Amino acid sequence: MGMKLINIGFGNVVAAARVIAIISPDSAPVKRIIQEARDKNILIDATYGRRTRAVLVMDSNHVVLSAIQPETVAHRATQNDETEE
């Protein structure tokens, strides 16, 4: 049994078991989380300069920005679970 990976766009992947939440970046509290992560140097920007559409909060307190919709990332995570069973 290997590690499950989720494609978050542009050839970037994250470990599915390490993801705590996949959220939209539109609200003020999420924008605050992003800014605090940037200040603490625990922000990983995987958008390649595009608009941030999903924010992934990891169990290591890292925050990952993705240019893919949160629904798409969540679908890819559940798709990985279904193919293994």
Q: What's the whole-number mean pLDDT along residues 11-31?
A: 97
Range of the domain at 31: 5-84
Q: Collect all residues with Cβ–Cβ distance below 8 Å to 31 and sequence separation of at least 6.
A: 25
Are 25 and 69 in contact, with CB atoms under 8 Å apart? no
pLDDT tops 60 at residue 20: yes
Are 12 and 46 in contact, with CB atoms under 8 Å apart? yes
Q: How far apart are CA 18 and CA 33, in angstroms?
A: 18
Domain total for the chain? 1
34-68: pLDDT as tens digits: 999 999 999 999 999 999 999 999 999 999 999 99
Residue 2 confidence class, pLDDT cut points 50, 70, 90: confident
